[in-house]
A and B are shown apart, each in its own frame.
Chain A
Amino acid sequence: MAASLKAITLEGEKGTWTVFPGLDKGCGLCIEKCPKKCLSWSKTVLGVYGTPTVEANMEECIACGICEMVCPDCAIKVTKKK
Chain B
Amino acid sequence: MTVRWLQSRSARKFFRHRPAVVALVVISLYLAVAVAVLLGGVTMEQTLERIGPGNLPGFQGRQLAEKRVEDCAMVLDRVEKALKRPSNLRAALGEIRYGLLRVADRPPEELRALVDQGWEIYDELVESPDLNADPSLLPQIEQLERLTGQLFAPLSGWQSLVRQFRLLLGTDRQGRSIMLRGVYSIKVAIQIGVITAFISVLIGSLLGASAAFFGGWVDHVVIWLYTTLSSIPYLVLLVVLAYAFSGAVWQFSLLGRPLSVDVGNTLIPVYVALCATFWIGPCRVIRGETLKIKQLEYVQAATATGFGRLYILVRHILPNAAHLMLINFSLLFIGAIKSEVILSFLGLGVKRGPSWGIMISHSAQEVINGFFWQIGAATVFMLVLVLAFNVLTDALQDVFDPKHL
Q: Do A and B come from one complex?
A: no
